[in-house]
Structure 1
Amino acid sequence: MSIDFTLTSEQKKLQDTARQFAQDILAPVIKAADEEQDTQKAFTMMQTPYQEAYKLGFAMGFLPKEYGGGSVSNIDLQIVAEEITAVDPGFATILLVNGLALMPIAWYGNEEQKKKWIGEATSDESCNYLAGWTVSEAAGTPGGTANFDHPGKHPVGIGVTAEYDKSNGEYVLNGRKYWPCNAGGWDLQGANVNVVIVRTDPNKGGKEGLSGMIVPKGTNGVRYEQPISKIGHRLCQNNSIIFENARVPEENVFAEGNGDLIIAKAFTWSGPVAAIAAVGVARSAYEYVLNWSKTYTAGGDKPIMNYQAVGYKLAELAMKIEACRAFSWKAAHYLDQFDSEGHAIGAMSKVFNGEILFNGVFQAMQVMGVNALDKVHPVEKYLRESIVFPLYDAGNVGMQMRKIWGVMADPNFDPRAFMDSKPVEFKKSMEGWTAVTPSE
């Protein structure tokens, strides 16, 4: 079978639709929202574009068709995500976090949970429905999210606890989450639903003691603080959330004892999306600087594009973008083949593209020299956006590299599996690498 990178007519139409949305609806509101100092107001400025994205299927299209979604392939998601992230990756994060939150219910939830929560998300007539992916926690001693699979008991690793109350069949949540996206909702009173990773057994480590918890809006005992003010991705909402004896019915628990697998697979699914987001941002930086270099003379007698130093830098960046797009598509195609079970290659694409293209955006700025610092040009924003990629999704060094390492360390790992498109089963034994110090 031949390898063909040509978009089908349907994919080309999808690309055109996404590009038109990004340029005509999203782009006009980005500059003012990015400069807005009130982080919640900046987020709410995205509500109208979000509603249009929802109507187009960009907010929930990746969810299973049998529950109202579009069953959009990971490859088709790449096409849409690149066009939107080329304008603003923070807005794209709002859309895609719906998948991080709700795809775990599709993978691990029971039939009743799938029908209720995914069906609700895909049938919102107001087109405002938001799902929060509520995993991350503040760094501390102990603390942080990257060590979610640490074998130590609470409070090591995930710190939010969910104690079962037998008297009324409820779980009681206590603790704090920090950094989750979409969790506060448009009114800072909560997303329509938050999928929260909690410690259901404080005496067990991260491989046995974690579970998924579906927390709907209006749950008593949940408090949302002002969203975090960030360098980049300013238009997505990152929250600090306080749980104080918040009660959730037991039917809202899923993947009990396997919350670690939820985290691992969700951040696998998002890996190629983060990878193509890096492509989108770098593409915008490259295209802007390429056009600028064809007219700017720097006081000379011809545009700087005529000089070798400029030509070589831009040529190198163009090559990096093409290579990284191919890697994104390869990883997405692999996930399509194996129901998103591509933990190593998903992480590889995220790590490689994010770090290569962060440097690539700075490379474009070097062509402009000191002019790149002038905010009349958009390249300083591209740099701020690109710095996010190596740091989020529990970070490249924090979690993604550990995941790749864990897969590779398995005695049965086939180093040609990705080249030959063979499945690689992810096992709990692949978790926890470097989570334990040598002395332990």
Structure 2
Amino acid sequence: MAIDFTMSSAQKAVQLRARAFAEDVLAPLLYQAEHESDLTTAFVKKKPAYIEAYRQGIATAMLPAAYGGGGYSCLDFTIATEEIAAIDPGFACTVLCNGLGLMPVIWYGTEDQKQRFVSAATSDPSEQYLGAWTAAEPHQSTHAVNDIDDPRSLSDITLTATRRGDHYVLNGSKKWSSAAGWDGLGANTQTVIVRTDGQTVGPRGLSAIVVERGTSGIACHAAPRDEYRMGTSATIEFHDAEVAADNLLPGSQSNGDRVIDRNFAWFGPMAAIAAAGVARAAYEVSLRFSKRHAGSSLAPLSRFENVGNVLGEVAARIESARYFAWRAADYLDKHDQHGEIFGAMCKINVTEMMFDCVFRCMQLVGARTGDDEFSFSRHLHDAALLPIYDSGNMAAQRRRVRGIMAHERFNPRAALDDQAVYSPSLAEGVG
């Protein structure tokens, strides 16, 4: 019996709807936005596309239907993400950050918290709701969060949440919060990793708490252009900010490191398929170029052996990247969104491979890659960011892989046999 890679009719509908949105709604706004020197202004120029994505249910598609979301599986959302990322991975990230900000509520929150935060996200009358994920911190020590090859990075999270009656008081700062909001003053809600137990050394003293927009004692600074990553990020400062104790996700208490690992596992196939989308866009541009231009010869470039070989190799890599992302997403769906090692492996392999694909496509077009009509400056920029974005391939992602593999209970055939690889004891090896 063959393994079936054919999309179901429902998945094909997801793909076509996302493609129509990306090409008909998002693409026309992209040119003006990407030529803005100010990041916040550029972000806001794509706001009409976001509102339409919200209306169509794309912006909240990853959230459970029980709370008003689209009820997409990880695999369904991976399929949709490729279509949007092929036009603009930054916009895809803006949408994905709703998942990064709210999936921890679904996994670790109470029913009341799900109704309060997730249902509010899917029923915003302004159709502008943005969620955010806030974990990383500024380099306040030599062992900064996500520092290369440093297992102590999570131990150095210093944003404290001190219990005082029915509130937690937050003090400290965060960097690269995943959404600065439409006005640069913060997202509607952000899930923040905080240190709730100052007596516990290491990552086990961490928890996750939902912070709502407008909370006093919080200053949000949108990232300048030279710190642009994907979408629009922010630095958040907390000065005696009071957050209701009911906003702490109970399943995350002294478990914040696991929240981080699970969230990045969920995002792994998304980052990978975004890279495949970027490479797909570059490949299609170079393929059209090679068929229409002859260079110094009479025959189109596509007729030359080396050009054809490069295009064929790039196309094959994109196909393999897509199926790896689909497989990782499918594995996560089958194992309760736990698959930390496979989400990381997928993200590492695909994003690095796709960067090489984009660069090789640029070589085929040659000196004209700088022309606006080909958009290669944007494709190369996005392809270069994806390996260092989302927990960093050379930092937490590779540390996550080797930490789990080194555990004596790790099963190297787990993916092959479709068995669960995750367990709390294995997760301890992440570092």
TM-score (norm 1): 0.93
For residues 253-302 of structure 1, what are the alpha-carbon distances to aligned partners after superposition, in whole Å with 9 as ceiling and x for unaligned?
11111111110000000000011001100000000100101111112111
Residues 149, 131 of structure 1: alpha-carbon distance in 2 compared, 3 angstrom cutoff:
farther
Q: Distance in 1 between matches of 2:114 and 2:162?
A: 24
For residues 350-392 of structure 1, what are the alpha-carbon distances to aligned partners after superposition, in whole Å with 9 as ceiling and x for unaligned?
0000000011100111111222133342112111011111101
Counterpart residue number, 2:190:
194
Greater helix share, structure number? 2
Mapping of residues 45-124 of structure 1, within 5 Å: 45-124=45-124
Mapping of residues 132-171 of structure 1, within 5 Å: 132-146=132-146, 156-165=155-164, 168-171=165-168
Q: 1:213 aligns with which of 202, 209, 212?
A: 209
Aligned residues: 429
Residues 322, 354 of structure 1: alpha-carbon distance in 2 compared, 3 angstrom cutoff:
same
Mapping of residues 234-383 of structure 1, within 5 Å: 236-254=231-249, 255-383=252-380
Q: Distance in 1 between matches of 2:62 and 2:238?
A: 30
For residues 31-69 of structure 1, what are the alpha-carbon distances to aligned partners after superposition, in whole Å with 9 as ceiling and x for unaligned?
211111111111111211111111122111111222222
Unaligned runs of 5+ in 1: 436-440
8 Å CA contact 1:351–1:390 kept in 2: the answer is: yes
Residues 13, 384 of structure 1: alpha-carbon distance in 2 compared, 3 angstrom cutoff:
same
Residues 205, 394 of structure 1: alpha-carbon distance in 2 compared, 3 angstrom cutoff:
farther
Shift in Å, 1:226 = 3.0
List structure 1 runs of 4+ shifted beyond 4 angstroms.
Answer: 147-154, 230-234
For residues 319-373 of structure 1, what are the alpha-carbon distances to aligned partners after superposition, in whole Å with 9 as ceiling and x for unaligned?
1000100100000110110111111111111000000001110011111122213
Residues 231, 348 of structure 1: alpha-carbon distance in 2 compared, 3 angstrom cutoff:
same
Q: Give the superposed CA RMSD.
A: 2.0
Q: Distance in 2 between matches of 1:153 and 1:33?
A: 35
Shift in Å, 1:144 = 2.8
Q: Distance in 1 between matches of 2:289 and 2:300?
A: 9
8 Å CA contact 2:100–2:133 kept in 1: the answer is: yes
8 Å CA contact 2:352–2:387 kept in 1: the answer is: yes
Q: Distance in 2 between matches of 1:244 and 1:356?
A: 42
8 Å CA contact 2:258–2:427 kept in 1: the answer is: no
Q: Distance in 2 between matches of 1:391 and 1:153?
A: 16
Query: Matched residue of 1:270: which SS?
Result: helix
Query: Matched residue of 2:84: which SS?
Result: helix
Q: Distance in 2 between matches of 1:373 and 1:233?
A: 21
Q: Distance in 1 between matches of 2:224 and 2:157?
A: 20
8 Å CA contact 1:97–1:132 kept in 2: the answer is: yes
* Counterpart amino acid of residue 88 in structure 1: D
Query: Matched residue of 2:204: which SS?
Result: coil
Q: Distance in 1 between matches of 2:142 and 2:197?
A: 17
Q: Distance in 2 between matches of 1:401 and 1:74?
A: 22
Q: Distance in 2 between matches of 1:232 and 1:278?
A: 17
- The more displaced of 132-141 and 352-361 is 132-141
8 Å CA contact 1:143–1:158 kept in 2: the answer is: no
Shift in Å, 1:125 = 2.2
Q: Distance in 1 between matches of 2:66 and 2:410?
A: 34
